[in-house]
Structure 1
Amino acid sequence: MRSLFNWIDRRTEQRLRQVAHSHGRRSLLARLGVALVGGAVLPMLPFDRSGQFMGAQAAEPGKAPGAKAHDDPMQCEYWRYCAFDGYLCTCCGGTLTQCPPGTDASKVSWVGTCLNPKDGRHYLVSYNDCCGKGSCGECLCNNNERERPGYRLGVHNDINWCMANTSSMFHCTTSVIVGVA
């Protein structure tokens, strides 16, 4: 048995010496650097998440199996959420138009024009963040239909709209129809 271990030690030492003679420290460091950078970049590559939560949504209790997502205010596909970015207040203790208790509506908001599939009309929808409590963390939606770049603030949804309130903590977002487009 001892002779087997000695043989393994000799073979390992020979192989390591061969590698050391043919490759320098810099090439080893360069390869390690490539591996580290490649490992850090890999999670940033795009991939399709559209079907990731399909099974969980289908098994939710209390949902009618034939209900369409554009009719359900608890779903991101609800027609009023075409330019929505945030947590649905309907999942956080509020309603489509009212903030949950303990929060205040933002003094500023962004707007979107959404098509109601039932009547075929476009409606002007105001999205008001509810401020004053920590993030709700339920029902996150990010729809960017007709969103404009950040320099057009009234139609840009990636801003903390609680900035004008006393407390700038964002909790959730409401969706209020303000008129027909």
Structure 2
Amino acid sequence: MTRIIDAFLKRLDGLTEANIRGAARRNGRRSFLARGGSALLGAAVAAPVLPFDRRAHAAEGGTDDPCTYWRHCAIDGFLCDQSGGSLTTCPPGSTVSAVSWVGTCSNPGDGKEYLVSYNDCCGKPFVPTATFCNNNKGERPGYRMGLYNDVNWCTANADKGYHCTVSVVVGLAE
């Protein structure tokens, strides 16, 4: 019985080697890499995108108003995620303001208070189709500049034109 298995394995080994050598003669390394790259690209396109947090656009209190999103409790400006950027990044062609104002917002998802930095994105004209939000929770008079949201914060940048505002969570409020 062992001789039969050995003979079968030897024949299988010979066929596998012949098959691999034939494939190596027919196809070079470049074609292998090209086909492998195409397969990886096809898999990346066909595979679903990883899940991401859509709560920024979730309605709170039964409204579809994006200004009611918890991070926007002290925002005063156009939303960057509707202007070619995201909730936390400026759109291409604009730069984040060198200075900002800060709000303390309550996240209904976990019941905690967070410090949120509102940074204006500068250097491009605003997009008139973007939603303008003017929430003044915790706003203080103009002499408390870090808590005053009615300022063009782009004046500290080389490009002073206002485009939109991002809402970046800095950390837990103590």
1:177 aligns with 2:169: yes
- Provide closer, same or farther for how the CA distance between residues 72 and 97 of structure 1 changes in structure 2, counting only shifts above 3 A: farther
Q: What is the Cα deviation at residue 136 of structure 1? A: 2.1
The question of whether the paired residues in 1 share the 8 Å contact of 2:71 and 2:116 is answered with yes
Gaps of 5+ in 1: 1-66
Q: What is the Cα deviation at residue 74 of structure 1? A: 7.3
Match of 1:159 among 140, 145, 151: 151
Match for residue 133 of structure 1?
A: 124
Match for residue 113 of structure 2?
A: 122
| Counterpart Cα distance in 1 of 2:91 and 2:162 | 12
The question of whether the paired residues in 1 share the 8 Å contact of 2:59 and 2:65 is answered with no
Bigger radius of gyration, 1 or 2? 2
* TM-score for both structures, normalised by structure 2: 0.63
The question of whether the paired residues in 1 share the 8 Å contact of 2:83 and 2:91 is answered with yes
Gaps of 5+ in 2: 1-57
Q: What is the Cα deviation at residue 146 of structure 1? A: 1.1
CA RMSD of aligned residues (A): 2.0
1:20-169 pair list within 5 angstroms = 67-69=58-60, 75-137=66-128, 138-169=130-161
- Provide closer, same or farther for how the CA distance between residues 88 and 71 of structure 1 changes in structure 2, counting only shifts above 3 A: farther
1:78-120: CA deviation from partner (whole Å, max 9, x where unpaired) = 0000000000001101001100000000000000000000100
| Counterpart Cα distance in 2 of 1:70 and 1:100 | 29
> What is the aligned length?
115
Identity %: 59
SS at match of 1:69: coil
| Counterpart Cα distance in 1 of 2:119 and 2:61 | 20
The question of whether the paired residues in 1 share the 8 Å contact of 2:97 and 2:154 is answered with yes
Q: Moved runs in structure 1, 4+ residues, more than 4 A?
A: 70-74
